[in-house]
Structure 1
Amino acid sequence: MLVLSVGIFVIFVVFQTIYVSLAIFSDKIRKVSGQLSEEKGMSILVPAYNEELVLKNCIDAIDALEYENCETIIINDGSTDDSMVLLNDYLGLEEAELPFQRKLHYKPVKSVYRSTKFKNVWVIDKYNGGKADALNAGIDGANHEMVITIDADSMLDKSSLSYINESFIDERIIAAGGTVHIAQGMKKENGELKLLSRPRVSSDIKYSSICMVFSFRKQRNQKLGQC
């Protein structure tokens, strides 16, 4: 009986070692392949309605991304606060154009601007039509095939686009989602988000995370319709 127990224990240890080793090895391969993968062009869409208080943090987080082949399009969806004033002051906006394809339906665009202070940052100023309407305008004007949507009160980890890029190596993948953690209990160090503590509202409510970052191929979305 003792020999049998020892044998089972040894087998368990061996399998656990193999399992952990494979996990570590796979993670290293994933990281290496992500580093070697050619950067696909990505358009980050940020729909914003009365987001004056959070836009600056969002822009700073995007600017810290470790990814070169990308652009940011902030869609001001008819805000009634000073969002456009903030964007103009912080970004140094100048009038510009985007390649709108008119394949999706959305409220009329008033103006398009480009930042003179941040690389590849655009602003679409349009009449209010809701979040989906704003995203349609952003998708229609995006310069790149890969599209990522985030809320204005969200912050991306500096490596997030590299992971998304890796996800779309497989041409069969048409969309992917990401996890957004509650900002409370999070700290940003050198562009990387770190969890310091799990936020608690009460003893009956547990910490959870939700998916509010979505990425997809632009042409597939246009074929299906609109957001």
Structure 2
Amino acid sequence: MNILAPSILSADFTILGQQIKETEAAGAQYLHFDVMDGIFVPSISFGLPVLKSIRKASKQVYDVHLMIEEPIRYIEHFVESGADIITFHVEAASDSREVIDKIRSLGKKVGLAIKPKTPVEAVVPYLEHIDMLLVMTVEPGFGGQKYMDECTDKIKEARKLISDAGLSVDVEIDGGVTVDNVNVPLEAGANVIVAGSAVFNGDISENVKNLLGKMQ
């Protein structure tokens, strides 16, 4: 099943709850929550208080993407604040298996992310222990970037590795998706699509419905 995950990084925070409800009403199954620490990535975004406050805004799956150094430090806090899926970067953890086990022990789904320049091979040891692999299709840290075409082959490689291993692991992509190019990662093997500007710029309901229409 193909899933749309609107990224609130592109939302209007003066009316955030209202916009979240709008994405849910239009059919978006997930809500993507980008956490940036200013160290692993240059930007600082938002954290625990924001997640906790918006948890009641919808019944969507809250897909929390940690772009932070040593994520093990905050796993319990993000679970307590309402995360359903916690995704962390293989590049940011000194012991990825420890982080995976921590998330799993708290009853949540596990995602593992790689930057555009990180080879897919970096996640091979962990594939059987995760629920989702996030292939970044822009450099993490800023919204509104253009989709990096060279990442399409990485999506194909990731899907092949998962299929060859007989695993049931989602492939999520994040960065540069528009209604005009969403078919590219889907055809390459992705099934969870993060979209920020493509959802929140303009008519949210119409944008969600148009994206979902292209994702069928």
**What's the TM-score, normalizing by structure 1?**
0.31
Higher fraction of helix: 2
Larger Rg: 1
Higher fraction of strand: 1
**What's the TM-score, normalizing by structure 2?**
0.32
